Structures are given as structure tokens and as C-alpha cells.
Chains A and B, each alone.
Chain A
Amino acid sequence: MGAQTIEEKKGKTATKHISGSDALLQSLITEGASTIFGYPGGAIMPLYDKLMDYTKELKHILTRHEQGAIHAAQGYARVTGEPGVCFATSGPGATNLITGIADAYMDSTPLICITGQVFSHLLGTDGFQETDVVGVTMPVTKWNYQITKAEEIPEAIAKAYYIACSGRPGPVVIDITKDAMINTFDYSYEKCTYIRSYIPEPKVKNPQIEAAAKLINEAKKPLIVMGQGVILGNAEEEFLEFINKSGIPVASTLLGLSAIPNDHPQFTGTVGMHGNAGPNIKTNECDLLIGIGMRFDDRVTGVVSKYATQAKKIHFEIDKAEINKIIQVDAPVLGNVKETLAQIIDFVQPDQYPEWLAEFAACDKVEYDRVVKDDLKPTEGKIAMGEVLDQLNEISNGNAIVSTDVGQHQMIAMRYYNFKRTRTWVTSGGLGTMGFGLPAAMGAQFGCPDKKVVSISGDGGFQMTMQELGTIAYNRLPVKMIVLNNNYLGMVRQWQELFFDERYSNTPISSPDFVALAASYKIKGETVTSREELSGAMERMYNSDEAYILEIKVAAKGNVFPMVPAGASVSDVIYGDEHK
């Protein structure tokens, strides 16, 4: 090897004459990609052809549907912190990605989606499998771009990575015409580190830090609401240091979970519609509310006009557009929480709030007596979803990566899983995408091959993407699958019971024999119908070295409580026993 050229020292690779497909794959490799989830088709064939020349560097996972590919890429990104990469062909291939792209956009997940496109001379002619992918994905991407010339590839991919991963992360779509894949050009690659019109991380302003610290030091009853920003900013350590010094009670949003261990003495549970009573009630009693890397989603705030109106508010946030979007705050702190939290620590007085924390504990006691006890340790009737989580805690000791679908089982998992380590929680938050759980678990398992990954689904959501059993079987992925089967679309049924006069319109749902279905893919499993069988079955599943499915027949009409009904104030918590 000779000496590096000046260009190479600047991070630029040497120039070589190659095809667009080669260039695209080499660009991905340079950016550190190793796993791609995807599905081939006509317009993306040149790229798939060249994939065969890079099997050492790039592992391509053929899913059974493009939706499976993108949710897998999301699961991969969520547990590794690296962007998920997926390929799809033009037209239907690309449109099948949309749900996952929208989901990733809502939940700030970095994704690089490469979609094939018809030849550039066919653009706009309604060619076979032509869809305006850039147009269709515009509202749900952080950035998107159509490549029609091979020469554009390196810069577009470099920008895609920079944009997807920096600042508030998000999905990026690169649509590439077939001729741009085929044509050759002089390729060299340079990573993108700057775009004039894009400020990923606003510069931290000292006065904002000081103003926030002043409010914190003056507060008598402060409450922190921690969001996924702590995880996305890799700021778990800074966050812990901040809460340990300030002594402030911490609640989490749905997506903030796992950023700190649940057994932290200041952890009070989750906020929101099915969160814990304590943090929801205390939101409307605290004198200072500190949102950290969260966005005051309506499932968190309940009715905004009654949300923490008594409290001063601080908002630590990287995305300027989130400040004052929903909740007007007294002290915004713009910047990456890794930086802002590190800076504020010096300004915060050490403190403790034993009496204030005791108020949360009192709420916990009420919640335990009215809800939790019967959720986790029922003695009669059919199996409750909570019991399954209780068993999972016992056997996994908080060491599993838990992926969920959307609905009652998701809320139960949120409520009862004992998180211990960061990035062990993969769930669809903002978009609430049924069908997310199984493929996301699959992606998480590819991202963390040495960890136990447990997918928890309902009977409805599992049926939306269960074709991915094929991918799991083919790749011998040891994903553990729990299907909580109540023969209903449970969360919708719960709303029908509570708010639609028990008119169960289209929520009873039949299912195949899930264990037999899995068996047809040579995946082991068992059906659990009684309480006595549960712990043994959970053990066999968890300790298996292979994929394993547990179909657990749970109570048909179980409900998730406590609940803040839609349109109510967060402190108007109902426990479900009001009319008993």
C-alpha cells in the first residue's frame, strides 16, 4: 500500500470506474451497513444481481413481504442504534414500505430505504410498476431523493446517511432508476458531514441551561418525563447522573422505556393513556414538569387544556419544531440531550424528594390493589395477559429484548415488563402499527444475535405479518414468539365495551392454529390454555435455542387499566372497578 492521497486523508475513497449498482453497494459498505432487509423485483434487479458480489460484506435477508423488511429494519435500528437498511422494487414493492416508513418517521428511527424505479426515460409515462415514490413518501420521510444518473449515487447515499442518523433521526428514501444502476461512472466516496440548509443539532445556549437549572433548583415537586430522546442521544449515562444528583422523580413515555432500569428508586412508571396512576395524577400536581427528549403526544397529555396547568415547564429537545408545538413551556433547552444534560448537571443542586416520592408510592398502592394484583396474580378464571408478563420477568430477569405489536398486549408489556438495559424495548409508538411486532423482533434478532428476543403479539396483529415465520424459519432465528390470543381485537373491543355500548362491531376474530402453522415452517411451539401449564411452557420457550411460539389463550374480555379516557385530563384516571 502506498501513502494516502490528500483526498483519501479527507475520507474520500480512490476513484474507480464501476456500475451504479456497485457504487451503491460500496457506498453502503463504506457507511458501515452489514445487513439489508429486502425483496427483489424488476426495477431493482441490477442491484440484486450485484449483491451476489458482496456476500462477504453485506448480508441480505429476503423477507416474505416488503412490510416485513421495513419493520425488520426498524427493529434492527432500534436495538443497535445503527440505521436500518432495506431494499424494495418499484411500484408495489415501494408502496408496501410506506407503513413502516411512516412508523419510523413518527418514532424517529433512522432508516435508509432504497427503492428501484423504472428506467428514467419511462418516468411519468405510467410505465409498468411505476409509482411516484418520491411524491408518495414525501410526507413521511425526513428526506427523499430520486437518482436518475449513476453519477449522483455517492453524494445521495452520503447525504442519506448523514440526514437519517444526525439530529432527530428519521427515515430517508432513495429512489433509483434502473439505468442509474446499470450505467458506469468514475466512483469515489466521501462521507457527508455538512449541509448548509440543515442544522441537525442546535447549538446549546448557556442562558437556557441556567434558566432551566434555576427552575429545577427552586422546585418543590418536580417531575421528569423521559422520552426516547435519551436513548436516541445515547445519553443514558448523562441522564442517570442528572437524576441521581437532582433526586427528581422520573416517569417515562412509552418509547422512553429501558433508558434507565425500572428498579431505579426514582422511577415512578409510565405516563399516558394506559400509564401508571402515580405519574399521571402527579403530572397535575407537580410544580415543575421537565420533558426530556419527548414530544407531548396526545396519548401522553390527555386533554391539553388540563395538562399540568399548575406547573412550570422545561423542555429538553433536539427538534426546534417540537418546542411549544403542543405545550407552551417556560424554559426550552434546545440541543442534543447528551450535551444539555451534561451541561446542566453542574448547575443543579443535589437534592432529594422523599415525601414527594412517597406520594407516588401511595398512588402505586392504590393501583396495585385495584388493578395490578389481579393482573399479575389472578387465582381464578382464564389466564390474564399480565400473568404472562409476570412469568416473562421471572424467567428473563429483564435481560430480554422485548418487541411488541399494538394493542392490549402492548400496553400490558409496557406496564409490567421490568426493563433493565437500554435498547431492549421495540414497539410502535406514534403510528400504532399492528403487524409491527413479529418482523421488528426478527430485525432485532439480526441486530443482536446473542440476545434473547421475545416478540409479544395479539392474535390480530400476529396475523397481519405472520408470513415472516418463513423468514424466521429459513434463517434459523431463535426468536421467541408469544401470541396472546383472546379471539378479539382486544383494544378496540375494550373501547367498544367502554364507549360504544358493548356493540362489538367486527372485533371478534378467528385465528388459525398458530402452533400448527408454525410447525408447517418447522418451528416448535405449544398452546397454553391453563394457568398450571404457563410457567413450564414459558421456560421451555425461553430456554430453547431455536425459534419457539407460545400461543397463550387468555381471557376473552380482559381490559387494560388504569386508563385516561380520550378527551379526559391525565389526572382523571379510571381503574375499571368504578361500577363493580
Chain B
Amino acid sequence: MNQEFTLTIFSENSIGLLNRITIIFTRRKLNIESLTVSESALKGVFKFTIVVNCDEHMAKNLTKQIEKQIDVIRAFYLRADEILHQEIAMYKIETKSLLETNLIEGIIRRYNARILELTQDYTVIEKTGHKAETQELFEQLKPYGVLQFVRSGRVSITRLRKEHLSSYLENLEKGHRNPVMD
């Protein structure tokens, strides 16, 4: 049964690795719903967060195929209940149209959003949350004329006390050059 999985991948920072990872999805005709790449808390180690809809067998195989890439240190797949995640959205609206109503305060409060910049011309509102939440705010703002709307990919954090990778790398550092892989 298809469900949403978040794949977290820790890798070296090497040219072309993103391509190597995405072709693992393309080859199986799987769409990447969201993708975020950035340096992780560990210096020099990069973290990919990829959201995909598939069944668990596929998620498992994808993870193994990704981890098989030489420059990938570890890869994990996580179900929605195993992680906390956020996306960030920004909305640009004509300031004039906002001022014409008195709804703006209510919207900002209700959606826990904030105003990032306000000029005579336009206003930029920012909101973090799940995709459904940022989408809902977009729908709310639509009547006022949204000039631009952008949304980031997902970032996620596990519900475990420590990141999966930390202990793994610690073991590597300790000279266990051949750690037991699960």
C-alpha cells in the first residue's frame, strides 16, 4: 500500500551525487514529492531529505540502492509518525489590497504566520508548517491577490534522541572500519 516516506540520506559532498540519487527514483518511475539538500550538523556531511509516495518494500529497496552509492554514508526511510517535519512558505501580496480589509490580523494570528517585509508596494508573509497548512494559507490569501507564492522542500528531524548517523560515524572514528550494518 502506498504511503508517504521521508528518506534521509547522509553523504559526502561530491559533484553529481544528487544525479546518482535521483536516477534511482526515475528508473522506477517514482516522483520525488519534495527534495532538500544541505550541509548537516556534521561538518562536511550533507543531508538529503526526500519525500516519496510508495509502498514499504519499495521504500526499503530505494534506501538500499541509495546507500549502495559509493559517496553515500547512510540512508534511512521513515514513516510520517517517526519524524517531525516542516516546510517554509512565503507569500507576496499587494499591500494595498491587504490594507483595504481588516482581515489581515486574523489571518496572521490564526495561521501563526509573520510579516517578513512590508513596503508600500507589497507585503511578504512567511509561514512554516506542513504542506497542507501552508497550502491552506495560500487559499485564504488568494482573494487578496497573491503576487508570488513559494514553498521549500521538507526538512525533518527524527523522534529519536540522537540522529541515526552520529553513533555510526562515532563508530567509524573509533576505528571500527567495518561496522555491522543493519
Residue of A nearest to B44 (CB): A196
Confirm or deny: B166 has a beta carbon within 8 angstroms of a beta carbon on chain A: no
Contact B178 A203 (CB under 8 A): yes
CB-defined contacts of A325 to chain B, threshold 8 Å: 61, 64
Confirm or deny: A6 has a beta carbon within 8 angstroms of a beta carbon on chain B: no
Contact A138 B19 (CB under 8 A): yes
Contact with B along A425-469 (1 / 0, CB 8 A): 000000000000000000000000000000000000000000000
Pick from B12, B60, B172: contact of A324, CB under 8 Å: B60
Contact A321 B65 (CB under 8 A): yes
Contact A202 B70 (CB under 8 A): no
Q: How far apart sit A146 and B181, CA to CA, in the bound complex (Å)?
A: 30
Q: How far apart sit A143 and B65, CA to CA, in the bound complex (Å)?
A: 13
Confirm or deny: B106 has a beta carbon within 8 angstroms of a beta carbon on chain A: no
Give chain B nearest CB distance to A390 CB in angstroms: 42
Confirm or deny: B143 has a beta carbon within 8 angstroms of a beta carbon on chain A: no
Give chain A nearest CB distance to B58 CB in angstroms: 11
Contact A198 B64 (CB under 8 A): no
CB-defined contacts of A163 to chain B, threshold 8 Å: 70
Q: How far apart sit A130 and B118, CA to CA, in the bound complex (Å)?
A: 49
CB-defined contacts of B60 to chain A, threshold 8 Å: 324
Contact A135 B71 (CB under 8 A): no
Contact A321 B61 (CB under 8 A): yes
Contact A202 B72 (CB under 8 A): no
Pick from A138, A196, A205: contact of B16, CB under 8 Å: A138
Q: How far apart sit A199 and B169, CA to CA, in the bound complex (Å)?
A: 13
CB-defined contacts of B11 to chain A, threshold 8 Å: 197
Residue of A nearest to B16 (CB): A134
CB-defined contacts of A526 to chain B, threshold 8 Å: none
Contacts A134-B16, A163-B70, A319-B68; A196 near B172 (Cβ below 8 A): yes
Q: How far apart sit A144 and B72, CA to CA, in the bound complex (Å)?
A: 14
Contacts A321-B65, A324-B60; A142 near B70 (Cβ below 8 A): yes
CB-defined contacts of B71 to chain A, threshold 8 Å: 197-198
CB-defined contacts of B87 to chain A, threshold 8 Å: none
Contacts A135-B16, A197-B11; A203 near B23 (Cβ below 8 A): no
Contact with B along A61-80 (1 / 0, CB 8 A): 00000000000000000000
The interface on chain A, measured as residues whose beta carbon lies within 8 A of the other chain's beta carbons, has a size of 26
Confirm or deny: B180 has a beta carbon within 8 angstroms of a beta carbon on chain A: yes
CB-defined contacts of A134 to chain B, threshold 8 Å: 16
Contact B178 A199 (CB under 8 A): yes
CB-defined contacts of A146 to chain B, threshold 8 Å: 15
Confirm or deny: A320 has a beta carbon within 8 angstroms of a beta carbon on chain B: yes
Contacts A203-B180, A319-B68, A320-B181; A135 near B19 (Cβ below 8 A): yes
CB-defined contacts of A195 to chain B, threshold 8 Å: 70
CB-defined contacts of A142 to chain B, threshold 8 Å: 70
Q: Which residues from 118 to 135 on chain B have a C-beta closer than 8 Å to any C-beta of chain A?
A: none
CB-defined contacts of A139 to chain B, threshold 8 Å: 23, 27
Q: How far apart sit A321 and B65, CA to CA, in the bound complex (Å)?
A: 6
Q: How far apart sit A144 and B23, CA to CA, in the bound complex (Å)?
A: 15
Contact A321 B64 (CB under 8 A): yes
Contact A196 B23 (CB under 8 A): no
Contact with B along A324-344 (1 / 0, CB 8 A): 110000000010000000000
Q: How far apart sit A325 and B16, CA to CA, in the bound complex (Å)?
A: 26
Contact A138 B23 (CB under 8 A): yes
Contacts A139-B23, A203-B180, A321-B65; A198 near B16 (Cβ below 8 A): no
Contact A320 B68 (CB under 8 A): yes
Contact A143 B70 (CB under 8 A): yes
Q: How far apart sit A319 and B68, CA to CA, in the bound complex (Å)?
A: 8
Pick from A205, A321, A324: contact of B67, CB under 8 Å: A321
Confirm or deny: B142 has a beta carbon within 8 angstroms of a beta carbon on chain A: no
Q: Which residues from 1 to 48 on chain B have a C-beta closer than 8 Å to any C-beta of chain A?
A: 11-12, 15-16, 19-20, 23, 27
Residue of B nearest to A197 (CB): B73
CB-defined contacts of B72 to chain A, threshold 8 Å: 197
Contact A203 B179 (CB under 8 A): yes
Contact A197 B64 (CB under 8 A): no
Q: How far apart sit A203 and B182, CA to CA, in the bound complex (Å)?
A: 11
Confirm or deny: B177 has a beta carbon within 8 angstroms of a beta carbon on chain A: yes
Confirm or deny: A474 has a beta carbon within 8 angstroms of a beta carbon on chain B: no
Give chain A nearest CB distance to B20 CB in angstroms: 6
CB-defined contacts of A144 to chain B, threshold 8 Å: 16
Contact B20 A138 (CB under 8 A): yes
Q: How far apart sit A324 and B58, CA to CA, in the bound complex (Å)?
A: 11
CB-defined contacts of A321 to chain B, threshold 8 Å: 61, 64-65, 67-68
Contacts A134-B16, A321-B65; A199 near B23 (Cβ below 8 A): no
Confirm or deny: A521 has a beta carbon within 8 angstroms of a beta carbon on chain B: no
Confirm or deny: A500 has a beta carbon within 8 angstroms of a beta carbon on chain B: no
User: Could you list some 13 contacts between A and B, CB below 8 A?
Assistant: A134-B16, A135-B19, A138-B20, A139-B23, A144-B16, A196-B172, A198-B71, A203-B178, A203-B180, A203-B181, A205-B180, A320-B64, A325-B64
With A146-B15, A198-B70 already in contact, 5 other A-B pairs whose C-beta atoms are closer than 8 Å: A138-B20, A142-B70, A197-B73, A321-B64, A321-B68
Among all A-B residue pairs, the 5 with the closest Cβ atoms: A321-B64, A197-B73, A203-B178, A143-B70, A321-B68
A residues near B (Cβ < 8 Å) are 134-135, 138-139, 142-144, 146, 163, 194-199, 201-203, 205, 319-321, 323-325, 334
B residues near A (Cβ < 8 Å) are 11-12, 15-16, 19-20, 23, 27, 60-61, 64-65, 67-68, 70-73, 172, 177-181
